[in-house]
Structure 1
Amino acid sequence: MGIPEYVGMISGHYDVSGGYGTRRDHGARDWLLVATIDGRGRFGFAGGERIAQAGELILLKPGAPHDYSCVAAGRWEFLWTHFQPRAFWYDLLSWPEFAPGMMSLSLTEPVMRQKIAAQFWEAHRLESGRLRRREAFAMTALEMLLLLCDTQNPLTQQPALDPRIQAALDCIFSRLSDKLSLGDLAGVAGLSPSRFAHLFREQMGAPPLEFLDLRRLDRAKRLLDRSSVSVGAVAEEIGFDPLYFSRWFKRHTGLGPRAYRRRLGGSF
């Protein structure tokens, strides 16, 4: 099953029975968060499977295989969202891992479990609604969801990122308009390019230059959403020639920059 084109995040609510399943051997380029509301869902991985119960959240990194289904002869109700994280969310996305690129949180405290479920419903409601700037509302709600999850994360007190990767991230976020190479970023981290690329992908879920590309896309979307600067100025802000920028933006979002901006002309 393919993932539709989306901006920021896309979400859904499914209530399914035996026979439902999704398989993407190479995963996706985004993150996937699934919250089991009722019943049981199966998440397969090389050498095993995990059965998600009500009150459990599963988080899959980009590139992690997607192999999830309703447990045979059972029922599974769940909320899901595919999303591209904001620049400052990555510390919120380091959960206990049960297989490479596959993480989970089990919510055992009833009040927080109810609060987190309600926040997920709110993010889904906003994402699927008709508010002007609904993507911004939905992403804000998703950020609150991740912050609430962070309060239940047993790894929260541990350093989430290797400081060498953090140095590279600081470089990326402060120099989006520069032509950064893998060698440049590896130099900032003080690692060889091959070691840096391996460690970066392990911690961030994407290769360094793909991650850089996605952060440029995130910055461009924000400028188009929240400012009146010209498309040419947006291109310059992220270090692109305006003609190339328009083609590049459409390849990633399915819309040219001007069409993307015009989509905000709707009403409540």
Structure 2
Amino acid sequence: MADIDLPSDYVAYPESHVLIAGHFLVKDTYQTKRQAGMNDWLITFTLDGEGYFKTGDEHIICTQGDVTILRPTVPHQYGTSRGKTWHFFWAHFSPELFETNYLSDKRLVNLTIENEYIRNRINQSFEKLIQDYRERQRYWYELCELSLKEILLLIAQRQEQALDSRIEEVLHILSKQMKDSISINKLAKSVNLSPSRLSHLFKENVGHSILDTLKQMRLNQAALLLEHTDRSASEIAYEVGYQNYNYFAIHFRKRYGISPREYKKNPPTNRT
């Protein structure tokens, strides 16, 4: 993407119930200063380069993978760091659009997204947000709200969840490859840890072992499929990663108190 100046339709102070978004690659001449703050929220996601934010005595630097959130009414200044370029997504949204009490109450938040999966997900949500904002086809506004809501919830999740980024990656792999055989050695290699260190760190973060967590994922999915699909219990056992139905049935009964076939005939929503 080539260097750009501010677009002609850029709005610094959105009116009530307005959401705007964009994608900038700007040199160190780019700077915005608002002594009285603004009426809306501002969120940025740095793709590359370096930017900065100043609010009173606070001065933060934004680099690749950083999400920055500025609350309304906070006097501030932000721009590209001297001698750098700053490549970032941004969005302004008025306070009336969302419940934001799940976000930090700090005036300025800078959060580094270390987990590659979450970083990619935020990136994709911003791309959808900007695309829908620019194209403005039918329901564009509602689609923009959905994309921004996803970004904000992912950020709130990161703030509340103190998981090691490597454990987050392992959980993502487990959920994505739940049907496959899982090798602790391969998982450890994927996050640059030894198998013993991964096992210890995982239990420390999650509270359960890797294999127990995988088992719970499989059983949760099995219960969902039993309740909401026409597949047989044996088909579902295979679908969630069990090669032996009897082994699956034993684990299922321990978890839910009844056999998979009984569960299918009388799922929780139908029980009195």
TM-score interval for Structure 1 and Structure 2 normalised by the shorter chain: 0.5 to 0.7
* 8 Å contact from structure 2 (residues 19, 92) kept in 1: yes
Aligned residue for 2:141, secondary structure, equals helix
Whether 1:32 aligns to 2:38 is no
Post-superposition offset of 1:89:
2.2
**How far apart, CA to CA, are the structure 1 residues paired with 2:17 and 2:119?**
28
Three-state SS of the structure 2 residue aligned to 1:113 is helix
Q: Aligned to 1:110, which of 97, 102, 116?
A: 116
Equivalent residue, structure 1, for 2:150 = 144
Paired residue secondary structure (1:58): strand
The 5 A counterparts of 1:1-268 are: 2-3=12-13, 5=15, 7-85=17-95, 89-94=99-104, 97=106, 101-154=107-160
Tell me the SS of whatever aligns to 1:92: coil
Cα pair 1:9 1:81 within 8 Å, conserved: yes
Q: Give 1:5 shift.
A: 4.7
Contact kept? 1:89, 1:143, Cα under 8 Å: no
- Output the amino acid matched with 2:117: V
Q: Which amino acid aligns with 2:103?
A: L
Instruction: Give secondary structure in 1 for the equivalent of 2:67.
Output: strand
The farther-off stretch of 72-81 and 104-113 is: 104-113
Quote the Cα distance in structure 2 between the aligned partners of 1:142 and 1:131.
17
One-letter amino acid of the counterpart of residue 113, structure 1:
R
Q: 1:50 to 1:79 in 2, by over 3 A?
A: same
Return the alpha-carbon distance in structure 2 between the equivalents of residues 86 and 148 of structure 1. 20
1:8–1:139 contact (8 Å) kept in structure 2: no
Q: Secondary structure at the match of 2:37?
A: coil
The match for 2:185 is none
For structure 2, list consecutive stretches of 5 or more residues without a partner in the other structure: 1-10, 163-272
Separation (CA, whole Å) in 1 of partners of 2:93 and 2:64: 22
**Distance in 2 separating the partners of 1:124 and 1:30:** 18
| Residue range with higher mean Cα deviation, 39-48 or 27-36 | 39-48
Contact 1:13 1:80 in 2 (8 A): yes
Cα distance, 1:135 vs. partner? 1.2
- Mark the structure with the bigger radius of gyration: 2
Deviation at 1:33, TM superposition (A): 0.6
Distance 1:136 1:85, change over 3 A: farther
TM norm structure 1: 0.52
- Take 1:30 and 1:42, find their aligned partners in 2: how far apart are those partners? 19
Counterpart CA distance in 1 for 2:14 and 2:84 is 28
The offset of 1:54, in angstroms, is 0.9
Residue 84 of structure 1 and its aligned partner are, at CA, apart by: 2.1
Q: Taking every aligned residue pair, what percent have the same amino acid on both sides?
A: 29
Deviation, 1:52, is: 0.7
TM-superposed deviation, 1:149:
1.8
TM-score by length of 2: 0.51
Q: Distance in 2 between matches of 1:62 and 1:10?
A: 15
After TM superposition, give the deviation of residue 120 of structure 1 in Å.
Answer: 1.4
Q: What is the alpha-carbon root mean square deviation over aligned residues?
A: 2.4
In the TM superposition, residue 112 of structure 1 has moved relative to its aligned partner by 0.9
Rounded to whole Å, the distance in 1 between the matches of 2:39 and 2:96 is 15
Tell which has more relative contact order, 1 or 2 (C-alpha 8 A, sep 6+). 1
Aligned mates of 1:4, 1:80 — CA distance in 2: 13
1:23–1:67 contact (8 Å) kept in structure 2: yes
Distance between the aligned counterparts of 1:90 and 1:4, measured in 2? 17
Instruction: Tell me how far 1:17 sits from its aligned partner.
Output: 1.0
